[in-house]
């Protein structure tokens, strides 16, 4: 465990940076905050290479991959790229036969962190199992040892690979706990700062607050990324309101909100539009498989009865409409469409042209269209969100 002092030193610095993580992101614009954090984590990685374990001439062993992986997992692509470039430049300056393997290992660690962040995005804190999964993914950097000369590769894998993997399992979850805590705290403060208005009876947020949060989160690719919007209309809502009364309808809407929150992964509040539709955000995974998402929502809202009174339980029908919005421009268009829909319907009822085409409603995904191959769909959404 010759690297243990370096691990302790690295953890101390990373924990200190984590304490500034939320403060920096709340006080500085997102792009500048990522640059500052990327430089900070890059300096930590460079610091790790100042006191390495020299295995053979030209091959150094240290814990530089920890801050690089954490930058990929928590800081966003700008900060991760800047951290990686700084660390790789330092390793290139040191040189030696292990230099190509070292740069490859840092690239793998950074990519593993970014992939982990992409597949575990959610507004709540991540569990300890998820954090250990990050350690396992980052430990894939050990395969870069095969780039070194065969004798050195065998010596490294037989003597140091297992201890380094164990140190990854020890250090990364500890640092990730602090970073994830600050990430969630920053998200909570941002949502409170928007001054969102919530209906005191149904618990549904106003659409204006929903739109503000959606635009804010879509620009923060290190936290929760909004990739789409799902709008739900209750079939026969007006008749239901007349039959049950406003109080009972609000009770039903509150139950719908609670059910939707159980599958909400976007970090946005469940909200309502002016024309009574219920809207929620969708993250990357839900947009990549829209058919499954729509089916899950219909089952969630349609299959189980709503208990209105002790002697009254009913099922309601809903229609589901999804707006794929992987970029900021498409998200703005989708929000404009949802905000403009009540006005469009009023114009149609008055016999005036709807002007639907100029609002870009063709961007809305038809309910009966056939889904392409899921892998192709996932790749396309990733390309649009890059």
Query: Domain limits of the chain?
Result: 4-191, 197-385
Integer CA distances (angstroms), 18 to 74, 188, 268, in order: 10, 16, 24
Distance CA 67, CA 65 (A): 6
Report residues of the chain scoring pLDDT below 70.
1-11, 13-14, 22, 26, 189-197, 219-225, 310-311, 326, 341-386
CATH number of 4-191: 1.10.1760
Q: What is the pLDDT of residue 223?
A: 46
Q: What is the pLDDT of residue 141?
A: 93
Distance CA 141, CA 323 (A): 38
Edge to edge, what strands does the sheet with 228-234 contain? 205-206, 271-272, 278-282, 228-234, 318-324
Please identify which residue in the block is written with the tokens 């649009």. Answer: 384
Q: What is the pLDDT of residue 134?
A: 93
| DSSP structure string for 230-243 | EEEEETTHHHHHHH
Q: What top-level class would CATH report for the domain 197-385?
A: alpha beta
Asked if residue 73 lies in contact with residue 134, where contact means CB atoms within 8 angstroms, the answer is yes
Distance CA 240, CA 245 (A): 8
Distance CA 106, CA 70 (A): 11
Distance CA 311, CA 297 (A): 26
In DSSP terms, 230 is beta-bridged to 280, 322
Asked if residue 381 lies in contact with residue 326, where contact means CB atoms within 8 angstroms, the answer is yes
Q: Please report the sign of the dihedral spanned by the C-alpha atoms of residue 182, residue 184, residue 186, residue 192.
A: negative
Write out the two tokens for 151. Answer: 């004798």
Q: What is the pLDDT of residue 349?
A: 45
| Beta-carbon contacts of residue 206 (< 8 Å; ≥ 6 apart) | 196, 197, 198, 199, 271, 272
Q: Give start and end residues of each alpha helix (H) in the chain.
A: 4-27, 30-48, 65-74, 77-94, 99-119, 128-138, 150-159, 161-193, 207-218, 237-244, 246-261, 284-288, 290-302, 328-349, 374-385
Q: What is the pLDDT of residue 14?
A: 67
**Does an H or E element contain 203, and which?**
none
């Amino acid at each position: 465990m010759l690297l243990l002092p370096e691990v302790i030193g690295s953890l101390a610095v990373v924990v200190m940076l984590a304490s500034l993580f939320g403060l920096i992101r709340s006080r500085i614009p997102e792009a500048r905050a990522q640059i500052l954090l990327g430089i900070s984590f890059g300096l930590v990685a460079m610091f790790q290479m100042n006191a390495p374990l020299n295995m053979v001439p030209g091959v150094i062993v240290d814990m530089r991959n920890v801050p690089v992986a954490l930058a990929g997992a928590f800081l966003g692509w700008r900060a991760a790229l800047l951290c990686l470039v700084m660390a790789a430049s330092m390793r290139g300056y040191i040189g030696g036969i292990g230099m190509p393997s070292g740069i490859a290992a840092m690239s793998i660690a950074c990519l593993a962190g970014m992939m982990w962040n992409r597949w575990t995005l959610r507004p709540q804190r991540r569990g300890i199992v998820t954090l250990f999964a990050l350690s396992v993914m980052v430990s894939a950097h050990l395969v870069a040892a095969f780039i070194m000369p065969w004798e050195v590769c065998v010596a490294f894998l037989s003597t140091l690979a297992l201890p380094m993997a164990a140190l990854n399992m020890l250090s990364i979850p500890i640092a990730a706990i602090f970073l994830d805590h600050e990430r969630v705290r920053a998200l909570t403060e941002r949502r409170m700062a928007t001054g969102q208005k919530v209906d005191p009876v149904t618990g549904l947020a106003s659409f204006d607050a929903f739109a503000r949060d959606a635009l804010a989160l879509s620009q923060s690719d290190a936290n929760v990324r909004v990739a789409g919007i799902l709008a739900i209309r209750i079939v026969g809502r007006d008749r239901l309101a007349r039959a049950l009364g406003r109080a009972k309808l609000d009770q039903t809407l509150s139950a719908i909100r609670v059910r939707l929150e159980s599958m909400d992964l976007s970090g946005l509040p469940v909200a309502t539009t002016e024309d009574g539709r219920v809207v929620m955000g969708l993250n990357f995974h839900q947009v990549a498989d829209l058919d499954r998402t729509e089916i899950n929502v219909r089952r969630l809202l349609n299959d189980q009865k709503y208990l209105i009174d002790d002697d009254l339980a009913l099922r309601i029908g809903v229609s589901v409409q999804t707006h794929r919005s992987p970029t900021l421009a498409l998200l703005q268009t989708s929000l404009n469409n949802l905000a403009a829909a009540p006005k469009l319907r009023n114009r149609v009822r008055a016999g005036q042209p709807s002007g639907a085409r100029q609002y870009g409603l063709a961007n809305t995904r038809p309910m009966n269209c056939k889904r392409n191959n899921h892998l192709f769909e996932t790749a396309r959404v990733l390309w649009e969100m890059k």
